[in-house]
Amino acid sequence: MRREIVYSLTLLGALAAGGVAVNAQEFDSNIKVPGITALTAHTGVPQGFDPVSASDSQLEVYGFPRRPDMNDTKAYTRWVQAVSGTRIVPQFTNSGRRHLPNQRIGKSETVANTTNSSSGNWSGYSVQKSSNPPFVQVDGLWIVPSVNNQSQSINGYMSEWVGIDGNCTCNDLIQDGTEQQFTNGQATYYAWIEFIPKTKLS
């Protein structure tokens, strides 16, 4: 029997006062989540490590996104900004919230490999039917909006994210982003990751 298992994992970034102590020999750790294998959290880098000047293999080992073409000034500048920030050691917890693939409403229209569709759970842009090689990485940059108590009687939720698959009739999805919510008179912010693997259960 085949069944899809959906896990929505909240990354709660926490830095202890004075920084994070990292064993010189261990810069990542395996995360144990029922039904999911090979989930790794990158927890640190060697002292003096510079991701901007690091080799491609070093970037992969320490969990940094691939370096874009340096001739693409916009993409490269954003990449430098992203990899030069402070790395936060994540703590994973199951939030119970699901973002899921595109829940389309009505017909969708594709123009120049970009699909425009109405959805019950998300909006934005997607690129489809790309030529080989397939996408193996997507990057996004956004400012997390502030939510406030202008409407204390309303509970609201909002996310921004990037992902691979999701806007398709498919059984595979990996995406991550940030969420802002105002519930019970309180604002909450967190980062999250969600993926839908094909899992074979006995």
Dump pLDDT digits (tens) for 150-195.
666 778 888 999 888 877 777 778 888 999 988 888 888 988 888 7
Would you say residue 191 lies in a domain?
Answer: yes
Query: What pTM, to 2 d.p., does this model score?
Result: 0.66
Q: Determine the Cα–Cα distance for residues 93 and 41; give it in Å rounded to an integer.
A: 13
Range of the domain at 186: 2-44+87-200
Checking 104-109 for CB contacts under 8 A at 24+ apart, the result is none
- Rounded (10°) CA dihedral 177, 69, 81, 62: 70
Would you say residue 94 lies in a domain?
Answer: yes
Residue showing tokens 């912010």: 189
Q: Provide the domain count of the chain.
A: 1
The string of pLDDT tens digits covering residues 53-73 is 999 999 988 888 889 999 999
Would you say residue 18 lies in a domain?
Answer: yes
Angle at 155 between CA 150 and CA 159, to 5 degrees: 95
Would you say residue 116 lies in a domain?
Answer: yes
Quote the mean pLDDT of the chain.
74
Would you say residue 61 lies in a domain?
Answer: no
CA 128 from chain centre, in angstroms, equals 19
113: three-class secondary structure by DSSP = coil
Would you say residue 51 lies in a domain?
Answer: no
Would you say residue 55 lies in a domain?
Answer: no
